[in-house]
Amino acid sequence: MTPIALEEFSLAVHNADAVPLHLGECGEGAFAQRFAIYRNNVRASRTEALRQGFPVLARLLGPGYFTALAAVFIQQHPPRSAALHEYGAELADYIAHFQPLSALGYLADIARLEWARLCAFHAADTPVMSIAEMDLATLNEWLVQPLRWHPSVTLLCSDHPLYRLWASQHGAVAAPSAQDWPAEDVLVWRQGLLLRTEPLDAVSSELLQMATQPNRLPTALAEHPEWLSRLIQLLHWQVFLAE
């Protein structure tokens, strides 16, 4: 198949009203039927990739609604890669602007969390800072320079009880009620081979962000020595690069 024909074929796969009959080698009716089967298989495989990548979102929406949402999303956002585990980067923003779900703002954050977990799972393996191998002098040297997050790290700052919404679908915590609906920050990263998702308090979230700026940590710890335990926890979690 020539590049032009391949492009025509690809465009027709995403256009339910188009059938590239001139590319077929059998009768028009038979080709149209086969092409419809192929198009449905493509749509089904992409829907299943989204369902596998966003299982909590699919559970919250219900199978029927999630399938319908996926069909509209797939039509407007075809994959950019043949690796379907890379599919869905735009889903959270799409949901955030999807009018029928405008009253359920937490769903976009759930999609962001699940996408962050996918990215963390496939992130590069790179050496991490290990507090176990440091003395106090070495640690002080590290803290005066800007630190870099491990490639798997994503910090999500949500206006919703994001961690509890997500964890409740795994039976780990009780689901939040409408009367108990605080904002929550969530940290997603891979610690070694372990994919982790943890809630962060405001201090830990602030420390994680200021660590990327020169000289911020020593100043903050001098003003708030009680924050040191939070920083040590972040170091034990191995969220910073060893460089």
**Model pLDDT for residues 232-241, shown as the tens digit of each residue:** 999 999 999 9
Whole-number pLDDT of residue 21: 47
Domains, the chain:
1-104 (no CATH), 108-243 (3.90.930)
Give the DSSP per-residue string, the chain: --HHHHHHHHHHHT-TT---GGG-SS-HHHHHHHHHHHHHHHHHHHHHHHHHH-HHHHHHH-HHHHHHHHHHHHHHS--SSS-GGGTTTTHHHHHHT-GGGTT-THHHHHHHHHHHHHHHHHSPP--B--GGG--HHHHHHHHTS---B-TT-EEEEESS-HHHHHHHTTTSSPPPPTT----EEEEEEEETTEEEEEEE-HHHHHHHHHTTSTTHHHHHHHH-GGGHHHHHHHHHTT-BB--
Q: What is the pLDDT of residues 195-219, one digit of tens each?
A: 999 999 999 999 999 999 988 888 8
- Segment among 54-63, 153-162, 212-221 with least mean pLDDT: 212-221
Q: What is the pTM of this model?
A: 0.85
